[in-house]
Structure 1
Amino acid sequence: MNESQTKGETRPGRITLEDVARDAGVSLATVDRVINRRPGVRQKTVARVEAAIARLSYRPDPLAARLARNRTFRFCFVLPRGSNTFMSLLEEQVRHASDWLASQRADTDIVHADTFDPEALAGALDALGSAYDGVATIALDHPRVRAAIDDLSSRGVAVVTLVSDAPSSRRLHYAGIDNTAAGRTAGTLMGRFLAGRSGRVGVIAGSLALRDHAERHFGFAQVMGGEYPGLTLLPVREGRDDRERTEAIARQFLADTPDLVGLYSIGAGNRGIGAALEASGRADDIVFIGHDLTPFTRRFLVRGVMDAVINQDAGHEARSAARVLMAHCWGEPVVADQERIRIDIFIRDNLP
């Protein structure tokens, strides 16, 4: 302390343990014992240290505490194989989140699996064993996958489901949007854009085995059936988020359904649907609503082929999964509002 600084005055910048020790007139080791509730300190000294903490408004530095504990964690993200554009964006965001995790003393691996195949996904999770402290995975709500998540949890591995949930499993947290609400939002937009027209609406999912796709379909059908009786939903078709498959399904809808007035794409494959609409010459007459803002859906919005995109922020989801796993491993609280993933609605006029 210099001559111009008296006891109780603080230096500029973050208050440190050294500041607390100096203010209380004790050693740094004593302050550390008081803060960590270790024995061997007289009650009178404890009171002096606690008074100094209150007077200086000391707040622990989480990273410094982690460094002092000299712990390093290992995390794994299990992501889909394939050419799904949104999942490619998600993987890019996971790699960005991995850079942050590295600064927090956590190493990150990425493993790819067929997330449409419950046996393949469960096998990938089983193969992780106890090698990781935390796992984030795209989930299938299937008994085999739930069992694999539960097995990881029983071995002390924290599991966060990402984008698609398995809520009855022992997963720690779900990082994704409310997909029933997203489906209902799509239904409301479809009904309002069609503005009293009657006809049939085609629905294309990736797979209803994915809970996010099943919940979106449920929400969409709820609104369509309850609020727009002039619109009839065609049986849902599954394209496994593949561009060529979804294009073939869209072409079939267009060829077989003269009174087709709308198309709702629950998952990926929007590039194929947009191509089919443009080739048919009916893009101006059919309301096309889908999910996830990608370079392709952005282009279709600008061209007027798509009418609306319901988006989930891949970066927010990746960062949320990383934060929750990190907080769990350090025994720190999670800020629920920070981890809530918003539903965004984009039309041509509000593209970011």
Structure 2
Amino acid sequence: MGKQLGQGDIDALFAAAGANASAKPEGAEGEVVLERYDFSSAGQISNDQMRAISSVNDLFARNLMHTLGAWLRTPFKMKLVAGEQLPFSEFLERLSSPNYICSIRLEPLGAVGLLELELALASPIVDVLLGGVGRAWPARELTGIEDAILTSVVQMTVQELNLAWQSVGLEFVFEKRESEAAVARMLTSGEKTLCVSFEARMPEAQGAMNLCLPAVVLNAILRRLISEGDRPKRRSKEAQARVRQLMGEVKFGAALQFPSMRLRASELAALEPGMVLRLPLAKHAISELRVGGLQLGRAHPVRTGEHRGAQLEGAIESEDLSGVLETQSAAETMSVN
């Protein structure tokens, strides 16, 4: 037969169990505190990340303003209006109709974003590129030619996006124009998206451009964007080539002249039209080529076709040229300020 426990034995067992539960193991720091986690907050963009995004997109807006303005040869203003996190369903509700909306692939993430351009802004751009003055027409669907022209403008916009986001290794690839039905199937209605809105103005029209990106896949890139914020920026080869190209279009004041000399006041006072003023220079004296008031080299005045020219004598050192250009740039900057 099994052993039977009395009431005293049972009380002793319960007392021992209570003592073991109240005793803490050596080295234990206490119980782990559990916190409630809301899975709906997954993909939420922090305030620091939103500030970093605003900085990048503001750079994009300024670059696109100058690029499109120079290409269209008409005043074109663009600015960042807002950046906010929205459910994809709310982004769809804000879309105008008809519109121009295209899909853009985010590499190396493999995700897909959307770029919308209001037709109120698209029509004057097409009008300018077709030789018009940039007037807006009533909202309607684009013709095949107009669609092809606007696609080239959107591709230029995507290139500027790449320049703005290249510091974090994010590349935008233009895919195609999408129908409203195809756009609605790209993301789930409840998925969080980053919606960035821009406002563009032309002399006779204004409109909006909206960029929609899935927020979840951007978190890793955004963390890198914040970490890169405090590091010195390094220009890519493409950016360096672009800066060099733009600097090559800068114009500096230049003059081909005789070296400084002294003349008698009586000779200057006696000058009349047709007189020859004798200069204290040898007949083979070489003129000075000055850029920004600084001597760059020596040259002979010559004829080149229907224009005058300067035939340089001797080589110009690159250090001397750089010094002259930097000095002139600094002088012009001080005069503007």
TM-score range, shorter chain: under 0.3
- The answer to which structure has the higher strand fraction is 2
Indicate the structure (1 or 2) with the bigger Cα radius of gyration: 2
- TM-score, normalised to structure 1's length? 0.25
- The answer to which structure has the higher helix fraction is 1
- TM-score, normalised to structure 2's length? 0.26
